[in-house]
């Protein structure tokens, strides 16, 4: 199992590198002159035409999750070590984890973007590379790794990981319908890079010193050109099972399409209020291959691959055997390589944005906004509520400060936006960096840095 998880995380890292870690900051939703508001709601047009600096128009580096670096790494006697170190108390470690430990990376890099006024409204063109990655790790996985045979039984349920990478070409248009309503939409043509979906539904383990009894139900579906599964053999049963994956070559994995839809309502009877809603990435990708590894339903088997001895000098001592398990415990699931099952279609992770904005009547450059963002993605769904204060004290500068609360806890965000004649620069964070390591790695898994450089005309 660990080898499978490791392969999935490696693939996820590949996808993140491919996408170069960038997405639209939610801190700019209520900032009128923030150039990329149309990617949060296609009904939000800009006051000026623009063209982006290639690859630097809208750059974001960040991650979300409730599993933090401080949950995994510890300082023991002045040295950095993992939670597996015997000096780390098992109860303290496990009590600090959630029942389901989540990591999310939703990334987008704007290779080239432009916006212009024409055809009775505002129009946008974008070429983007994107990746959507989610990992769910139940606490029982860490309990097994940390406690070993201290407990006789373990139930590992709903361990899951998903990674998808694709490129998109997007065409958007927005316009006023009347004095109260403005609507917008974006059509996206998608080119799939790859998709991996790991669903380890359950593994019930009964551990003993001489053998383990395992009941498991799991599958992995991969759509990635050049991917093949690696296998190993259970020495006791002779069963050949999937122990990892490798990729040789690359290519287009599939094609698809998607839509963004949005609307803004400014009621005449409530002149200081504006309400908005948007549904983003409503679409799918049809993949040309579907490499399946599966238990083909629940499977029960015994293995003596991992046995323990109370003798510390024995080859099967707890430490030696546990090192072997840490290197490869994919035998817990023993997936069969089922081959290529043909094409398959997968839905994109859609995003719902719902906002309300109030203009302060005594100082109209000041507004207050409430935004709810919900990422609709099955087991990887998350939500975020963000309350912001937004100000435009002069024509060439506006800013936002906001607090957020949601699936990944509490955070503080901000954005500063400079828009001079012919030039736009913005910088901000949806989740301000907290404590960092000496290598400047955030100790919290909620962190982001946003930057953009664009030309106005």
**pLDDT tens digits, 67-119:** 887 888 888 887 877 787 788 888 888 998 988 888 888 788 889 999 999 99
Domain with residue 181: its CATH number is 2.40.160
pLDDT 10s digits, 212-253: 788 889 899 999 988 889 888 877 677 788 888 888 877 899
The residue to which tokens 């004095």 are assigned: 179
pLDDT 10s digits, 163-186: 999 999 999 999 999 999 999 999
**317: DSSP letter:** B
The residue to which tokens 């088997």 are assigned: 301
CB 15 within 8 A of CB 163: yes
pTM, whole model, 2 decimals? 0.85
**309: DSSP letter:** B
CB 235 within 8 A of CB 323: no
Domain around 11: 2-456
Domain count, the chain: 1
Q: Which residue has the higher pLDDT, 255 or 153?
A: 255
CB atoms within 10 A of CB 394: 8
Instruction: Report the distance separating Cα 449 and Cα 71, nearest Å.
Output: 22
pLDDT 10s digits, 268-300: 999 999 999 999 999 999 999 999 999 888 888
CB 403 within 8 A of CB 412: yes
Name the token pair of 168. Answer: 């998109």
């Amino acid at each position: 199992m660990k080898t499978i998880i490791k392969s999935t995380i490696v693939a996820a890292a590949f996808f993140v590198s491919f996408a170069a870690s960038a997405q639209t900051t939610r801190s700019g939703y209520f900032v009128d002159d923030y150039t990329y508001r149309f990617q949060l709601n296609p009904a939000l047009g800009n006051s000026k035409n623009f063209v982006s600096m290639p690859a630097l128009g809208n750059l974001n580096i960040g991650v979300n999750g409730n599993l933090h670096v401080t949950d995994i790494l510890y300082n023991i006697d002045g040295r950095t070590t993992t939670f597996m170190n015997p000096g780390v108390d098992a109860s303290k470690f496990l009590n600090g984890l959630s029942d389901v430990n989540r990591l999310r990376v939703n990334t987008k890099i704007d290779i080239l973007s432009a916006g212009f006024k024409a055809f009775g409204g505002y129009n946008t063109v974008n070429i983007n590379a994107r990746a959507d990655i989610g990992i769910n790790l139940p606490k029982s996985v860490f309990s097994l790794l940390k406690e070993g045979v201290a407990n006789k039984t373990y139930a590992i349920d709903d361990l899951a990981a998903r990674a998808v990478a694709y490129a998109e070409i997007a065409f958007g248009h927005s316009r006023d319908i009347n004095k109260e309503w403005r609507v917008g939409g974006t059509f996206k043509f998608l080119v799939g890079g790859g998709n991996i979906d790991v669903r380890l539904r359950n593994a019930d383990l009964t551990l003993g010193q001489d053998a383990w009894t395992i009941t498991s139900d799991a599958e992995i579906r991969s759509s990635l050109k050049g991917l093949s599964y690696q296998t190993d053999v259970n020495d006791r049963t002779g069963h050949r099972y999937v122990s990892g994956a490798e990729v040789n070559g690359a290519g287009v994995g599939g094609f698809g399409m998607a839509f963004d839809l949005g609307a803004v309502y400014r009621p005449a009877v409530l002149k200081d209020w504006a309400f908005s809603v948007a549904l983003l990435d409503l679409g799918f990708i049809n993949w040309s291959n579907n490499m399946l590894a599966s238990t083909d339903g629940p499977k029960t088997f015994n293995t003596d691959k991992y046995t323990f001895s109370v003798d510390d000098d024995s080859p099967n001592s707890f430490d030696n055997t546990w090192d072997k398990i840490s290197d490869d415990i994919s035998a817990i699931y023993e997936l069969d390589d089922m081959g290529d099952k043909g094409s398959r279609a997968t839905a994109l992770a859609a995003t719902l944005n719902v906002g309300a904005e109030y203009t302060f009547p005594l100082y109209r450059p000041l507004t207050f906004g409430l935004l709810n963002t919900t990422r609709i993605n099955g087991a990887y769904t998350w939500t975020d509520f963000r309350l912001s204060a937004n100000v435009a004290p002069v024509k060439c500068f506006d800013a936002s400060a906001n607090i957020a609360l949601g699936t990944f806890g509490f955070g503080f965000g901000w954005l500063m936006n400079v828009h001079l004649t012919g030039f736009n620069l913005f910088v901000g964070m949806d989740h301000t960096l907290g404590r960092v390591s000496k290598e400047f790695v955030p100790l919290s898994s909620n962190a982001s840095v946003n930057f953009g450089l664009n030309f106005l005309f």
